Each structure stands twice: as C-alpha cells, then as structure tokens.
Amino acid sequence: MASKYDGLARIIIQNVGGKGNVISLTHCITRLRFKLKDESKANTDILKSTDGVVTVIQSGGQYQVVIGNHVPDVYDAVMAIGKFQAAAQDGDEGGAADGKKQNVGAKLIDTLSGVFTPVLALLCAAGIIKGLLGLAVFLLGNSFKDTGVYMLLYSIGDGFFYFLPLMLAVSSAKKFKLDNFTAMTIGAAFLYAEIKFPAIASGETVLMTLFSGTFLETNIHETFFGIPIIWPSAGYGSSVVPIVFSVWFAAKIEKFWKKIIPDVVKNFMVPLMTLIIAVPLSFLIIGPVASWLSSGIGNFCQAIYNISPILAGALVAFLWQILVIFGLHWGLVPIMLNNYQTILYDRFISTNFVASFSQTAVVLAIFLKTKDKKLKSLAFPAFVSGVCGVTEPAIYGITLPKKLPFYISCVVAAIGGGLMGAFGVTKYMSGGLGVFGFPTFIPGEAAIAALGITDVLYDIKMIAIIIVITMVLAFVATMLLYKEDEPAQVKAPEPTVLEKKDIAGEEGTIAAPITGRVIPLSEVKDEAFSSGALGQGVAIVPAEGRVYAPCDGVVSALFPTGHAIGITGTNKAEVLMHIGMDTVKLEGKYFHIKTEAGKTVKTGDLLVEFDMDKIKEAGYDVTTPVLITNSAEFVDVSGETGKNVKAGDVLISII
C-alpha cells in the first residue's frame, strides 16, 4: 500500500548512497539510524535540505537522519521502497567486510541503541502504569491493592519489568545475530531459576560465602558439579546487564557450532549445544560478573552523586541535550535502568528530566516573540512535541540553528538539575517522557519498604516545583535575550505570472524556470549535480531573481529555506530546481516563497523570489541546476546549452 512518505523515502535512500550502501537500518523515537558502508557517498547537505528531514547527524558509527515524531511511518516507507529484508535491521558488529571498522566508543553506542531502542516505548508505558497505580494506592488506601482492577493493571506494569530479561533477550538476539528463541530460552532460564529453586532464591542453606565484607559479598547455596552457583542478591528478575552479556556470549557459541555441525542434524543440535554451554556458563560466570558490574556501576553513580548532588545534577542536565544531538545519550540510559534494578532508584542520570522542559519553554518564548510566520509555524508543533518529551524537532529545527536559545536551554537545565540534586529528588522507574514521566517519581512498594519512605508524594511534588522554576527561567531568559534576525530587503514585487503567449511546458518539453544563460551540468561546481547523479538536465546562470513553474503539475517538494523546489509535472517529469550552491546555509535568508507544497501550478506561475545580489555578496554561487530527477524513466532528456533564455522558453526536451 502506498504511503504519503514514499517520496521522502526515495529521496532518503538515494542520498544515503543508494540501497547498496546500506548495511543496516533501525529507528528510535525521532531518527532513522543507518549504518553505511561508506558515509562519504551520502549527500548530507541535500538530505538536510529535504522537506521532512529535520537534520542529519553522523555519530557513534551511525548515519542518523532525524525525522521527528512520525519516524515509524517514514521507516516503514524506506523499508518498503528500498525492499530491505528484515535481516537488514539487525545490528552489525562493524566488520571490515561490511564497511569501516568502528572504534570502541562508536561500537558501544551502536550496540546499546540497538539493544534498548526496541523496548524503550514499552518501558515508558509500563512505568506510567506502575506510577499511576502507586498514586492510586496513596489516594485510595492499601485496600485498593486487593481489588481486581489493581491486580490486573499491576500485572501489566510489574510483569513487564520482572520479565524484562526476556524482552532484552529478543532485542539482544537481533543485535548479536542469535536465534530469537535460543536467546529467550536463556532469559527464561534466569527467571525460572528464581521460581523453581527456592534454596537458591531464599538462601535457606549457606554452603560458603564469597568476598565477605565487600559489596560483592555473596552466599553460596548450591553447586553445579561442585562449582559454586553464585546467585546475585538482587536476583535476575528485572535485570538488564546479565542477559545482554549472556546473549552476546551465546551468539559466539552458536556461530561456532553452525560451522562444524552437519546440516542433517543442525536444526536441533545447534540450539542444544549452544544452550548446554551458554546457560551453565551464564549462571556460573557471566551472570554473576555482570551483576557485580551492575552493582559497581550503581554504587559508583551514587558515590559521585554523594560528593556533590548539586554539581552532579547540574552537569548531567546541562550535557543531556548535547548528548541527544549526537545520539550519545544511549550510553547513559542502561546505567539508569541498572540503578532501578540494583538500588531501586536513580538520582544521578534522572536529573536529565528537566532538560526537555527547559528546551520546551525556550521554544514557547520564541513562538510568542517571533514575527516570522515560518518560524512561528515550526515553533508551536515543536513546543507540543517537547511537552511530550521529544525535543529533537525543537533542537534541530529552531534552537540549535539560532545558537543562543540552545545555550539558554542548556544553562537553565543545569540550574534545574542542580535543584534536583540539592533537594534529593528521586526517580524510581523508567517511564514516559515529558509530562508523562511524572508518575515515575512515585515510589513502588519495594522502594517504600527498602528505603523507609514516609512521604510518598515528596519527589513528585518537588519535581513539579522544579519544573515550573526551570520553565519560567528559560522562558524569561529567552524573552529578554533572543532577538530576531533582520528581515532581508527585497526588490519591489514583479508580476506573479508570466505572459502565456509563446510559453513552453507542453507535453515533451520543460520550460526555463529562470531567465539567464544555459550551461551544461558538467560546469556546475558541485559534484552531486555535475556528475548527473541526481538526474539529467542543464543549469542556468540567472539574470534575475525569480523562479517560475517549468511545467503544469504539482509542487511535490518545497524546502523551508526556499532554495530548492520540486515539481511533478502532468507530463510525468519530476523537475528539481536548486537555486545556487550551498545556499541552504543561508537558512532562508534572501529567499521568499510564493507557493506551497501540494499546490497545483500552471507553467509560468511564480514559485520563488530571491535576492540574487545579496546572495552573491554573501559569497554564494547562484548557478541553478534544473534536473529531471526521474530521468531513467525517459528514453532521452536533452537541453541546448551555451545560449541565453527567458523564463518560459523551451529549456529541456523529454522523450
């Protein structure tokens, strides 16, 4: 079934270097995450200028195309148009055969995002349910816990967190290329042991104690052929790190057995031999070591926080949005999840909560202050998205390009994070983003009992107050410090429609959209155009700053900066007019759009005006390629060069 994002999907695939350049593709909340064989083949500037693409980030070994809240629909369209197989979504370990070798940091970020992205939405949903149920118990009393409503809904929230190892087993299997059901069996073994072996779980019989007197102290209750079975004090329910490491190890084992086991018995012998080695070693070595690592990370975070809660909170909140820009925040998400499982709360990483509200308040101030209609139209949707916790549209579309608003957002977020540290505000579970994250500051039963909490609503009350303070500071600072760019001076308006006599644009021809001198594409000082990679056509060195419709059709692509426009003609030609080289960097300055996307136009209708002299003064070449981007669908695309044309003259012939 056709999607309204099919056109955008084609542009994205073409400008990441084509299907053959894609190793893998996944997506998170707002961005497509490509792993490319050669990132130099991607046309980053073109993608950044594409209507529907917020920006492009190259970080962590990934080529990230930021889309916004509708990224799942765009992802589906890209997968369908590119005819990518499901396996193309799986992670890759960066082997040289598939592309450049990733460094350790990039590989770690890529792995973490691949493992945790698929379960993030459900983590949010389950956290909201648990938080709201905790609030209901506080308001209605403990008797509410005995009702069918509570038990059924709690089974959704708590059930997901308890069986989180199973969920992570599936996403880890995709990342490390292990059979899904083999990975789930390992996760099930961890959880089943807690249910089936009460001597291990309850500690009725102690055979020996390891690492006595340290945070690694562990009582041994059972052995496996004489080898101690080290059972972590927190168990494996809701755990994060042990299952990820275990699946990674099992993937290595499975790969080995696939090579040496005969095909006739491979179907059952590979999983058998994989599990019989991976599961015992997971219980005896991998799980315990990973659990100790988890406890160490939790204690380390708490130790840093204890040195200076204010400084720790301010630092995390200040850096969070900067990390989001490069997709590096994934390195901290597992630490936060680990803290929830090992110490039942998080005060360190969770100070990032204020950052989205700071960003949102800045955008609201810009929305109210700006007189730029285009900016105002972008700001309000970004504000709504920010309230819901997704700030990429605000960051990439508004605050980061203008710099000062982004700085204000980060500084004020640091103030909010410092206040969270000063008042010891605690987050007890993963949950929703933005306003949907408030229930995560309500402690659950285990946290209340273990931490001796008396005021269940303390944290949610404090975070609400801090959020209000943060938003007010960000809003006021932006209203006082942000100044609009001076609007460009334009010449007196000219007629909006060409005279219709002797005009080109009939079937088989494309009219000149600009008056000027025609040159071959090979003379354009940009390889993306001169090579013909984007389509056949010609270029015009403009003599005046007006662009007209080159044929009857529909405005199929209109870039917010006004520097490029696409027309899908009734003659089936897809015409792209790109005004100048690198003029996207002007961010719309000196360009004035006279039409809108989706509008039906006639040959000669005025589309865009641009101040040619000001653009030249700014140091940009105004040469304008006129391309037939679907040239492959025609037998011939040709145009006469080395001559002067007036807008409306025949420019290109198509067969």
The active-site residue out of 27, 221, 563, 578 is: 578
Full set of structural domains in the chain with CATH: 6-102 (3.30.1360.60), 163-304 (no CATH), 308-326+351-481 (no CATH), 509-654 (2.70.70.10)
Give ∠ CA 331-247-329 in degrees, rounded to 5: 10
Residue-wise pLDDT tens digits, 606-647 = 999 999 888 988 888 899 999 888 877 777 788 888 888 888
Per-residue pLDDT, 87? 41
Specify the pLDDT at position 107. 67
DSSP lists the bridge partners of residue 624 as 540
Question: For 477-522, where are the E strands, in sequence order?
Answer: 509-511, 516-520
- Going by pLDDT thresholds of 50, 70 and 90, the confidence category of residue 505 is very low
Decide if pLDDT at 361 tops 90: yes
CB 216 within 8 A of CB 230: no
Is the pLDDT at 502 greater than 60? The verdict is no
Q: How far is CA 49 from CA 53, 169, 557, 561, in A?
A: 7, 39, 10, 8
| Confidence (pLDDT) at 94 | 39
Question: Would you call 223 helix, strand, or coil by DSSP?
Answer: strand
Predicted confidence at residue 216, as pLDDT, reads 67
- Quote the CA–CA distance of 331 and 57 in Å, as a whole number: 17
Whether residue 329 is predicted with pLDDT greater than 60 in this model: the reply is: yes
Report the pLDDT averaged over residues 399-418. Answer: 91
Question: Residue 69: is its pLDDT beyond 70?
Answer: no
Using CA atoms, how far apart are residues 408 and 482, in angstroms rounded to an integer?
Answer: 9
Catalytic residue among 28, 301, 410, 551: 28
Q: How confident is the model at residue 467 (pLDDT cuts 50, 70, 90)?
A: very high
pLDDT reported for residue 106: 61
Whether the per-residue pLDDT at 489 is higher than 50: the answer is no
Please determine, for residue 475, whether its predicted confidence score (pLDDT) is greater than 90: yes
pLDDT in tens, 426-453: 998 877 678 888 888 988 777 888 888 8
For 553-596, write each residue's pLDDT tens digit. 888 888 888 888 989 888 888 898 999 888 888 888 889 998 88
Calculate mean pLDDT across residues 281-310: 81
Which SS3 state, helix, strand or coil, does residue 577 take? strand
**pLDDT at position 359 over 90:** yes
What's the pLDDT at 88?
40
Average pLDDT over residues 181-208: 77
Other CB atoms closer than 10 Å to residue 177's CB: what's the count?
A: 14
Please say if the pLDDT value at position 264 is more than 80.
yes
Task: Over range 285-292, report the average pLDDT.
Answer: 83
Amino acid at 46: I
Residue 310: its pLDDT value, please? Answer: 93
pLDDT tier at 139, thresholds 50, 70, 90: confident
578 carries an active-site annotation:
yes
What DSSP string runs through 279-296?
HHHIIIIIHHHHHHHHHH
pLDDT tens digits along 529-551: 777 767 888 999 998 899 999 98
140-185, pLDDT tens digit by residue? 877 888 899 988 998 988 888 889 899 999 999 988 989 999 999 9
pLDDT reported for residue 328: 61
Q: Which residue has the higher pLDDT, 28 or 187?
A: 187
User: What is the rounded average pLDDT for all residues in the chain?
Assistant: 82
Maximum average pLDDT range among 10-24, 38-52, 110-124, 242-256: 242-256
Q: Is the pLDDT score of 204 beyond 80?
A: no
551 is catalytic: no
